[in-house]
Amino acid sequence: MSTTDPTSRHCPPELLAGAKEISVGPGFTGLLWTDVRTRLSGPARQYLRSTFPAVAVQAFSATTEQYWADWLSDGKLDQLSGLVVVLDAAGLPVAWVASNDRRFGGHRCFYANSAGVHPDHQGTGISSTIWRALLRAAIVKAAPRSLYAVMRTGNPLVYGAWSAATGRSDTTWPAPGSAVPEHVQRIAADAAADLGQADRLDPRTLVITDAYDDTGAGLWTQRPTSDRTDVDEWFATLLGPRDAIVLVVAFHPIRVMFDEALRQARRALGLRSSRSARSSRARG
């Protein structure tokens, strides 16, 4: 990674058109695009294609740069409803999150399409910060109804972070030892169908067999671990190297807006929040 002075920042001008800058941390620039099809310019796309894949393969060690070049194709980018990219002081990507607006099982859903953090910056809280930037707007838009965050993942760290994000223990599926409600099964079935993997989904466990069949060995040479041994062991038992779960998390707008207000108040008062999970190498 760059050894540029972290107090200075460089943002390539071709990335600024159509983007909103968000606060990420000292030495970083966070750029948010909504309605990616119309707001992410051609020059910005070319810049990402020339710099992004080399970062992504370090976050997902079993993938190739061609895999991510395909992910950055116009057809794939134009399907995104939101994209956040974090740049380091030299203007190189170090983290990203991307989402789609979907309606699964008759419910409004926030589909977490992809996310990743360069290994040098994992554990800094970047991932949770930029996910909040996308998720907050989606929750407000869905209010007063609940918003279901949906993603395909084989990463126990991602599972732990998202299940903790609601502040409740009964709004995440699947969960060890718990049955999956019928409405969540319908959401997962529609999500799997949207991925072209409906025939691989087990509705009882929400496991998609061979979910990552476009890579030879899955996404990682070794599956990431989380801060929870029980979740790590559950994932090791539940999933093969190319398998994934459809993770469904319910967010209730009033509760989320209250928690966000409390978080901002604590921050203003200089109080420490609870320790966030280590940054994810997640990809849905």
- pLDDT tens digit string along 41-89? 999 999 999 999 999 999 988 889 999 999 999 999 999 999 999 999 9
Instruction: Evaluate whether 277 touches 226 at the Cβ level (below 8 Å).
Output: yes
Q: Examine the pLDDT at 117 and tell me if it is beyond 70.
A: yes
Contacts (Cβ under 8 Å, ≥6 apart) of 155:
223, 224, 280, 281, 282, 283
Residue 37 gets the label, from left (phi > 0), alpha (psi -120 to 50) or beta, of alpha
- 26: cis peptide before it, omega within 30°? no
Please give the span between the terminal C-alpha atoms of the chain, in angstroms, as a whole number.
26
The span from the CA of 140 to the CA of 122, in Å, is: 28
Q: Examine the pLDDT at 275 and tell me if it is beyond 60.
A: no
pLDDT, tens digit, for every residue of 215-254? Answer: 655 566 677 788 889 999 999 999 988 899 999 999 987 6
Q: How confident is the model at residue 260 (pLDDT cuts 50, 70, 90)?
A: low
Q: Where are the domains of the chain?
A: 13-268
Which of 3.30.9.10, 3.40.630.30, 3.40.50.2300, 3.40.50.720 is the CATH number of 13-268? 3.40.630.30
Provide the percentage of residues in the chain whose pLDDT is more than 90: 56
What's residue 277's pLDDT?
A: 40
> How many other C-beta atoms lie within 10 A of the C-beta of residue 103?
12
pLDDT, tens digit, for every residue of 127-151? Answer: 888 988 888 878 888 888 889 999 9
List the Cα angle 80/84/88 in 5-degree steps.
145
Q: What does the block give as tokens for 42? A: 């051609």
